[in-house]
Amino acid sequence: MKNTLENHGKTHEIIAIDGPAGSGKSTTARLVAQKLGFTYLDTGALYRAVTHVAMLKGVDLANEQALDALIEICDFKLSAEGDLTRVWADSSEITEAIRSREVTSNVSLVSKHAKVRQAMVRLQRAIASQGFFVVEGRDIGTVVFPNAALKIYLVATVEARTERRMLELQQKGVAVEFEKLREEIIIRDKKDSERAIAPLKKAEDAIELDTTRLTIDQQVETIVRKYKEIRS
């Protein structure tokens, strides 16, 4: 597929999609990238990778210095291949392992550390410096790519987000109680929003999109339309 920006003479461009857990960021970002001929980049995968390796090695997740030392000696690599973001730690692929509930429950603790975020932001910018990317996360439009061509901030009720995450887990064969999962999401929202470094928040120039009652296709079409409007 030819890039939609070919006629604009650009060498790279970013569409930033931020929002809390379960708001539909990943699925929406992947499909928007497909529609526009961009590459999907899941930056949260990098934080999950650090969390997974730290837990595997018994590193104290509250110890910023220890996590920084781990990042220095471990070679984290991320490959954006179509709609899939593959992740490696040294020579081991950990693409599936970083999606465990244990990692999900602890990634906010790891990502709040300044040195961890600084290292991850450098890597994210290097990956997306040449190319056309749809990037999703929690601080993409505010910190990582403040000059993104289009910034979208997804929101949805806690109940809707819990239902989506529950369905996702069930499809992977993981049984979970609704109320327990709902509580986990509320706790993560609190951690992400209250962390001192790059907290989850809407960029001033971002377009807020409430996905509570929208289908994935409706979310995708809305973002694609917004992008085409700014490029028309």
pLDDT digits 0-9 by tens, 104-158: 999 989 988 999 999 889 888 988 887 899 999 889 999 999 999 999 999 999 9
Quick one: pLDDT at residue 70? 95
What span, in angstroms and rounded, lies between the C-alpha atoms of 43 and 45? 5
**Residue 64: pLDDT above 90?**
yes
CATH 3.40.50.1970 fits 14-221, yes or no: no
Q: Is the pLDDT of residue 1 over 50?
A: no
pTM of the model: 0.80
Cα–Cα distance list, 5 to 80, 154, 219 (Å): 19, 24, 21
Domain range summary for the chain, segments of one domain joined by + = 14-221
Tokens of 224: 């694609």
Output the pLDDT for position 3: 33
Q: What is the mean predicted confidence (pLDDT) over 74-102?
A: 87
Question: Is the confidence at residue 73, as pLDDT, over 70?
Answer: yes
pLDDT at 99 over 50: yes
Average pLDDT over residues 208-212: 96
From residue 18, give the alpha-carbon distance in Å to each of 137, 167, 170, 201: 5, 21, 25, 8
One-letter amino acid of 223:
I
